[in-house]
Amino acid sequence: MRALVWAQILFVLLCVGYSTVCLFQGDFQGAFLPYPILILYYIMFLQKKRRKANLSSDEPVEPEKGHALPGAPGSDGRRL
């Protein structure tokens, strides 16, 4: 597990380092190349973090009330 974490940190640092070098050389297209990869990595990280937080809570999850539009079927709390 630790090796995977270090590999991910190294990958992110290499992407940022490559982007920085490309910016200093004036290669703007190459500089922005790793950013979509980093954005996808960040989105996957957030989803994993949220999933882990939802699974670790021991409280039962109840649906929130009051979000239906007035007059919509089921807005009075009855089941459809």
What is the rounded distance in angstroms from the CA atom of residue 76 to the CA atom of residue 24? 61
The pLDDT assigned to 54 comes to 81
What is the reported pTM?
A: 0.56
* Tens of pLDDT, residues 14-37: 999 999 999 999 999 999 999 999
Is 7 among the domain residues?
no
Q: What per-residue confidence (pLDDT) applies to 55?
A: 76
Question: What does the pLDDT read at residue 20?
Answer: 95
Residue 37 lies in a domain: yes
Domains in the chain, number = 1
Determine, yes or no, domain membership for 47: yes
DSSP helix, strand, coil percent of the chain (3-state; round to 5): 60, 0, 40
User: Structure tokens of 9?
Assistant: 């940190």
Q: How far is it, in rounded angstroms, from Cα 16 to Cα 27?
A: 14
Distances (CA, A) of 47 to 3, 27, 61, 69, 72: 21, 33, 18, 29, 32
Token couple for 77: 């709390």
Provide the residue range defining the domain that includes 32: 28-54
